Chain A
Amino acid sequence: MKTRRSVWLAMFLLVAVLLVFGSTRTGGPQTQQDRIDSLTAVLACPTCSGESVFVSRAVAAESIRAEVARQVSAGLRTDEQILSYIEQRFGGEVLLVPRATGVDALVWALPVAALVFSIFLLYSAFTKWRGNKPESPTSDDEQIVARALNTKTDEQ
């Protein structure tokens, strides 16, 4: 089985190399449309809570989409600046993604905490189970078995 092990090693190396190669290449430069779509995807549609401007066909979303398109084709502002400009212009909380500051950060932190906690639970369960394993029979146990076997043979 020595050869198998080296084949596995080679396979892992191959996969790692291919993944590195694949994750460094890109699908060409970002187009204006890509920028518009990714910006509108993180903006909340003001009249339909829970949906993004990208998803919604509501009139309010339509006008924000048009504004983002104008800003992107003007090409003067960065993504961050466009988002804060939209926030100023349309007012209120426009982002669809909770921030990572203040209480809002809980929405990011709690899932991680839940994962860590449940992995800890799993780990402690396995340690407990390992401790619970039946031990090897003591001499008392062996005597009981021997006695039981003897009575059985006696009866026959």
Chain B
Amino acid sequence: MFASAGISGTVGRAFLLVGFIGAVFGAFAAFTGARRNDPQIIRLIPRFSTLSFAAAVGAFAAMEYAMITRDFSLAYVQKVGSWSTPALYNFAAVWSALEGSILMWVLVLAGYTAAVSFWVRKRMQDLIASWALGVMFVVSAFFFLVSFFPANPFAAGAPGVLDGPGPNPLLQNHILVMFHPPILYLGYVGVTVPFAFAIAALITGRVGEGWLVATRRWSLFAWGFLTFGIALGSWWSYEVLGWSGVWAWDPVENASLLPWITGTAYIHSVLVQERRGMLRVWNISLLVATFSLTILGTFLTRSGVLNSVHAFSESSIGSWFLGLFAVVLVVSIGLIGWRGDKLRSPGVIDSPLSREAAFLANNVLFAVFAFVVLLGTVFPLIIEALQNRQIAVGAPFFDKLSMPIGLALLTLMAIAPVLPWRKASTETLRQRLFWPAWCGVAALVASLLLGAYGLAPLLTFTLGGVSAGAAMRQVVLATRRQGWRGLVGRANGGMIVHLGVILIAVALGASNSFSKSQELSLVANVEASFSGHTFELKDVIEVRDDRSISVKALVLVDGKKIYAPAITKYTRIGMNVGTPSVRTSLTTDIYLTLEPPVRQDANEARIKVFIKPMIIWLWIGTALMAVGTVLAAFPGRRRKPTDATSAPVEVAAS
């Protein structure tokens, strides 16, 4: 198996072995050095993280080399490689199936480990850093091992294969496949960093606020990339899959959403710990939950126990991930139990009407949300185990339950930003919410004038208006007082993120409730109309390349521009893939798909038209969230250490 693989296979596998050894030695050095408090040993740690990272880069490069040179001696290249795949998609083909995606995980994780050891290089004597790096080395070693054994991308394939099918057609017709997986992985794998520091804090017993402040930016970085990666996935789904939706609640999507939910809960509740020293057990639990949900999600979606459009073929890696998941849980819960006395918080929350109580309510909602998503995802497994019966839990279930949770979160987003720490009177609240509330009324009136109807969307728009008002109030007050500095820092950057979230909520509310669709049978040069727009079939054409045969319907929309929804047959795989064509504007998207069966010579075609309001605001909202995250990562104006903790950082409320 080893010998018959080509040169890149041998080299790649050797790199994986070197990386594994580097990680094991690194873990050993970090743990021994930290336990004995021995600077000589601790000094070695960065070398091992550099070694591991270099080996991971080497292995990944070997895989790219094999893919680019179409080295069909490798089973993996036989599976996803093809001479006919264009260079860009061929480059991305490396992470288009199980083994390659684990290899990318290895690369990102080794990169994070190297980055963290560079970051702490001057503070290496701080034992918390050594312990944290030790944890990261252990996780890295696990992934090197998974990539070396059960998910080996360098395994030799059957002899005599000269060409392959190429990646799944859905993964070779849109540029976003280049970006969505790596960015998502930067977030998904990045949560390992705060997790490692949490474990290190438990081991050293220094569970005070220090390590939280220290790792705040790493958490934010991972969370930002997770958010951005998920949004890019939605965008890809919209542009490629042809059902006009952005989120299907399939198991792999849920697997990326779960750590996002607990991570979002964490970046809120950690503020309570920084400010008041409370919720320590809870925050550590959230980090443990976030990390273990990435492992559980990988188990669920990569082991073949659940199937979905993303799910890769079955393999034995399931038991590996389940094992890691169990170890993470047992170790973390054991450590939390052991350090229980140190974790007990000194303070109390004085009033349910306070900033910290709002964060608590936020955490309850996010915890319930995570529970709903997890339950829905694994429920078919539970039923199968109990009653040996197949059921499906799909989008209608998740939609129904996430809607009230989303509305409750919007309500909280409206009130929480104006709440002071410790305690608020209803009088304060009435004053501070006055203008935000009028924003809500304005949003409601505007949406009614535009013809909106239905309780849920109207509530969404109203609450969105109040929340936007509350967020704007904070930003305006902060910038009036501090100039441009009023835009940076976590409170102000956070408000920009909130504005992005509100845009997304409103856009989802509008597009889910007020979309219209119609199938039209078009005859050439005869105008058909739907929902105030006209559609005229100009021609049906066929486009061939070495991969595929596409049939495109050229449809003139509103007499202005031609759009060309297509159905492409990938000849090697024998799979038909529809490609939508979308007219985007600030108010409404017109989304066209060509419906089968199609004949190229025909002068008629069946198309489906979706009229979807406000879709573009999903992407604008995402961009705003990204901007806000970057702003939040900059240090904001801090409270003077001598001030009372209850003193406001920003401007005192009028």
Comparing B19-27, B316-324, B443-451, B496-504, the segment that makes contact with chain A is B443-451
CA gap between A125 and B242 in the complex, in Å: 49
Chain B residues whose CB sits within 8 angstroms of the CB of A129 once the complex forms: 348-350
CA distance A110 to B440 in the complex (A): 33
> A55 near B348 (CB under 8 angstroms)?
no
Q: Are B455 and A98 in contact (CB under 8 A)?
A: no
**Which residue of the partner chain A has the closest CB to B400?**
A97
Is B361 a contact of A122 with CB atoms below 8 Å?
A: yes
Q: Let me know if A23 and B397 touch, CB within 8 A.
A: no
Give the contacting residue for B371; candidates A21, A114, A126; CB below 8 A: A114
Decide yes or no whether A143 CB sits under 8 A from chain B.
no
Nearest CB on A from B546, distance (A): 23
Scan A103-133; emit 1 where CB is below 8 A from any B CB, else 0.
1101100110011001101100110010011
A25 and B452 alpha carbons, distance in the complex (Å): 9
Main secondary structure of the interface of A (DSSP, over half): helix
Query: Is the Cβ of B352 less than 8 Å from the Cβ of A11?
Result: no
Given the complex, which residues of B lie within 8 Å of A122, measured CB to CB? 360-361, 364
In the complex, how many angstroms separate the beta carbon of B505 from the nearest chain A beta carbon? 17
Q: Are A111 and B372 in contact (CB under 8 A)?
A: yes
Contact A50 B394 (CB under 8 A): yes
* A-chain residues with CB within 8 Å of residue B249 when the two chains form the complex: 50
Chain B's interface size range is 35 or more
From A33, A51, A111, A119, give the contact of B364 (CB < 8 A). Answer: A119
Interface residue? A44 (CB, 8 A): yes
In this assembly, does A83 line the interface, its C-beta being within 8 Å of a C-beta of chain B? no
Write the nearest CB–CB distance from B566 to chain A, whole angstroms.
Answer: 13
**B307 touching A48 by the CB < 8 A rule?**
yes
- Chain B residues lying within 8 Å of A56, measured Cβ to Cβ, are 243
A-B contact count (CB 8 A): 164
B647 CB to nearest A CB, Å: 20
| Chain B positions within 8 Å of A19 at CB level | 444, 455, 458-459, 462
The complex places the Cα of A114 from the Cα of B357 at a distance, in Å, of 19
A31 within 8 A of B: yes
Q: How many residues of chain A have a CB within 8 Å of chain B?
A: 57
User: How many Å lie between the Cα of A146 and that of B221 in the bound state?
Assistant: 52
Cβ-based interface call for A29 (8 A): no
Asked if B187 is an interface residue, CB under 8 A from chain A, the answer is no
Q: What's the least CB distance linking A116 to chain B, in Å?
A: 10
- Nearest CB in chain A: distance from B366 CB, A: 11
A57 located at the interface, meaning its Cβ lies under 8 Å from any Cβ of chain B in the complex? yes
Enumerate chain A residues within 8 angstroms of B448, measured Cβ to Cβ: 18, 21-22
The CB with the most chain B CB atoms within 10 A, among A14, A55, A69, is that of A55
Interface membership of chain A positions 41-73, coded 1 if the CB is closer than 8 angstroms to chain B and 0 otherwise: 110100011111011110000100000010000
Q: In the complex, which residues of chain B have a beta carbon less than 8 angstroms from the beta carbon of A37? A: 517
One of A33, A96, A104 near B517 (C-beta < 8 A): A33
Contact between chains at B441 and A111 (CB < 8 Å): no
Question: In the assembled complex, which residues on chain A have CB atoms less than 8 Å from the CB atom of B458?
Answer: 18-19, 22-23
Beta-carbon contact of A126 and B243 below 8 Å = no
A80 to B155, CA, bound (A): 52
B484 CB → nearest A CB, Å: 33
Is B111 engaged at the interface, CB distance under 8 Å to the other chain? Answer: no
Residue A89 at the chain B interface, CB threshold 8 Å:
no
Q: Does B586 contact A (CB under 8 A)?
A: no
B560 on the interface (CB 8 Å rule)?
no
Complex contact B392–A22 (CB within 8 A): no
Q: Is A26 among interface residues, defined by CB-CB distance under 8 A? A: yes
A110 nearest CB across to chain B (Å)? 6
Partner among B371, B392, B452 whose Cβ is within 8 Å of the Cβ of A95: B392
The segment from B227-235, B375-383, B536-544 found at the interface with A is B375-383
- Judge whether B444 and A44 touch: CB under 8 Å: no
Please tell me if A87 contacts chain B, counting CB pairs below 8 Å: no
**Complex: how many Å from CA A8 to CA B448?**
21
User: Is there contact, CB below 8 Å, between B395 and A96?
Assistant: yes
Q: Are B453 and A8 in contact (CB under 8 A)?
A: no
Q: 8 closest pairs, A vs B, by CB?
A: A96-B394, A23-B455, A129-B348, A44-B392, A97-B396, A22-B458, A55-B243, A50-B250
In addition to A31-B518, A97-B396, A103-B383, 17 A-B residue pairs with Cβ atoms within 8 Å of each other are A4-B434, A8-B434, A19-B462, A22-B455, A23-B453, A27-B451, A44-B394, A48-B308, A49-B307, A50-B394, A69-B519, A95-B392, A96-B392, A114-B372, A121-B364, A122-B360, A126-B349
Interface on B for A, CB 8 Å cutoff? 241-243, 245, 248-251, 306-309, 348-350, 352, 357, 360-361, 364, 367-368, 371-372, 375-376, 379-380, 383, 386-387, 389-397, 401, 427, 430-431, 434, 437-438, 440-441, 444-445, 447-448, 451-455, 458-459, 462, 514, 516-519, 576-578, 596
